[in-house]
Amino acid sequence: MRGKLNSEERGRLRSLFHIYDVDNSGRIEKNEFSAICQELQVPTEEAESIFSRLDADGDGTSSVKGMSAEERDRLRALFRAYDVDNSGRIERNEFLTICAELQVSAVEADRIFQRLDVDQDGTVTLQEFIHEW
C-alpha cells in the first residue's frame, strides 16, 4: 500500500468504519481501527501511519464526522452506484450485494441495514445513507 489512500481504499475504510463502530458513536478506537486494517490486509506499520493521520486531535480515536463537500459528493456517487434500479432508495437486496462485495457476513449486513434504515421502511434513502456517515 502506498503512503496515501486512493478513493477506493478510503471508501472501503469508511464502509468498514461503520461496521466496527459497534456503539454507533461515530468514533473508532485504535484497536478497532487495527481490526479494520487487518480486514483490508494493510500491514501493521501502514495501519499505524494511517491511524496517526486520522487521529487529528491525538485522543486515540478516529471520527468520520465533519465531512467535506467532496466526501458528501463521493457518498452520493456511491449511493447512486448501488441503487441499481435507480429508485432513489437502496433496497435490502441491493445492500446485501454491497456487503457481499465487502465480504461482510449476512448477520453483520442485516445489523448495518437496520441502522441505516432509520424509518424502518425496508429501504435506505440518500438522506439516511449520508446521515449515518
The full DSSP string for 91-117 is: EHHHHHHHHHHTT--HHHHHHHHHHH-
Identify the pLDDT of residue 3: 47
Question: Closest Cα partner for 115 from 107, 124, 106?
Answer: 124
Per-residue pLDDT of the chain (133 residues; tens, 9 = 90+): 334 556 676 666 666 666 666 666 667 778 877 877 777 788 888 888 878 777 766 778 776 554 556 767 777 888 888 888 899 999 998 888 878 887 888 898 888 888 888 889 999 988 888 776 6
Identify the pLDDT of residue 89: 93
CA-to-CA distance for 68 and 66, rounded, in angstroms? 7
The whole-model pTM stands at 0.49
* Three cell numbers written together for 94: 441491493
Domain ranges of the chain: 7-63, 69-132
Instruction: Please state which architecture CATH assigns to domain 69-132.
Output: Orthogonal Bundle (1.10)
Q: 7-63 and 69-132: same fold?
A: yes
Contacts of 126 (CB under 8 A, 6+ apart): 76, 79, 88
Identify the pLDDT of residue 2: 39
Instruction: Please state which architecture CATH assigns to domain 7-63.
Output: Orthogonal Bundle (1.10)
